[in-house]
Amino acid sequence: MKRVICMILLGCVLSYPLSAQQQNLTLPYQDWYSFEKPQEDYTKDFLKSSIAPLALAGVGLLIQSNADFKHELQTYLDWNKDWQVPMYEDELRWAPYYIGFMLPVFGVYPQHKGLHAIPLALGAYCLADACVASLKRSTGIQRPNEKLHHLYNSFPSQHTSMAFVAATILHQEYGHYSPWISIGGYSIAAWVGYTRIAQSYHWTADVLVGAAIGTFCTNLVYWAYDGLSDYICTKKEQSLSLMPFYDGRQASLCLSYQF
């Protein structure tokens, strides 16, 4: 026999009487609050998606280990090291998020429900940022630009990492609609990485490893979510759900766990 534990998290949000005639809300998901069983072979998909970021990290580390090639490559790419041409990398690193926020306006909804997509995005951002910050402190590599030689936090690129986190989230949530959405997001992220080299804020290795961290950490968070969903969900019923309740006068939110 199953026991159900219900806890009221939010009550009496609407305390005034409403009209007897109510409008039905149309949601993109019938049960937007609950977990869904992931697709089969999600671990295999994660391993396949890890090939590209691991390859980027490998190339970046090879360049980092060869000081002569690293400096020679920088001289070919840092054409805007005087910062005379604006490249808008600060704004563009968040552009895939803006695209993701706007697509539902046109009827294109994310693959995961909003209640789950937001923690996924925050988790990916925090994990990637923690990895970047840790590497910056432990490596202490000097910035390539002479104006920034007093800074020893070049490796890896935080701008590039965050841009690829955003691009990978866009790919995970909307890539199934069209590959061009994913291409657009990753193109923006690649541009952000290029600007960091062109303006001599970072070495090429910094950007490659930053892109690898952003992509891999985001895919890792999504894989962990799929594993959690697979554990929680069963074929016949779900053991954990978050359910809204509304009776025309009051609204509340219930957390239900069955065991």
**What angle (nearest 5°) sits at the alpha carbon of residue 60, between those of residues 57 and 63?**
155
* Number of other CB atoms surrounding residue 91 within 10 Å: 10
pLDDT at 111 > cutoff 80 = yes
Sheet holding 251-258, edge to edge: 4-10, 251-258, 240-246
Give the pLDDT band of residue 21 (cuts 50, 70, 90): very low
Q: How far is CA 225 from CA 46, 216, 218, in A?
A: 12, 14, 11
The mean of the pLDDT values for the chain is 84
Is 184 domain-assigned?
yes
Q: Alpha-carbon distance 213 to 205, whole Å?
A: 12
Give mean pLDDT, residues 73-85. 95
Backbone angles phi and psi of 184, in degrees to 5: -60, -45
Q: Alpha-carbon distance 89 to 196, whole Å?
A: 8
Is 203 domain-assigned?
yes
pTM of the model: 0.80
Is 35 domain-assigned?
no
pLDDT at 10: 25
Q: How many domains does the chain have?
A: 1
Is 71 domain-assigned?
yes
| Chain-centre distance for alpha carbon 232 | 23
Give the pLDDT band of residue 249 (cuts 50, 70, 90): low
Q: According to the per-residue pLDDT averaged within each range, which of 13-17, 35-39, 215-219 is highest?
A: 215-219
Is 21 domain-assigned?
no
Domain that residue 199 falls in: 41-235
| Token couple for 113 | 């429900």
Give mean pLDDT, residues 186-206. 98
* Number of other CB atoms surrounding residue 197 within 10 Å: 26
pLDDT at 13: 25
pLDDT at 224 > cutoff 80 = yes
Give the pLDDT band of residue 232 (cuts 50, 70, 90): confident
pLDDT at 19: 29
pLDDT at 231: 85
Is 19 domain-assigned?
no
pLDDT at 15: 25
pLDDT digits (tens, 9 = 90+) for 154-184: 999 999 999 999 999 999 999 999 999 999 9
pLDDT digits (tens, 9 = 90+) for 27-75: 445 466 677 888 889 999 999 999 999 999 999 999 999 999 999 999 9
Neighbouring residues of 85: CB distance < 8 A, sequence distance ≥ 6: none
Is 196 domain-assigned?
yes
**What angle (nearest 5°) sits at the alpha carbon of residue 51, between those of residues 47 and 54?**
115
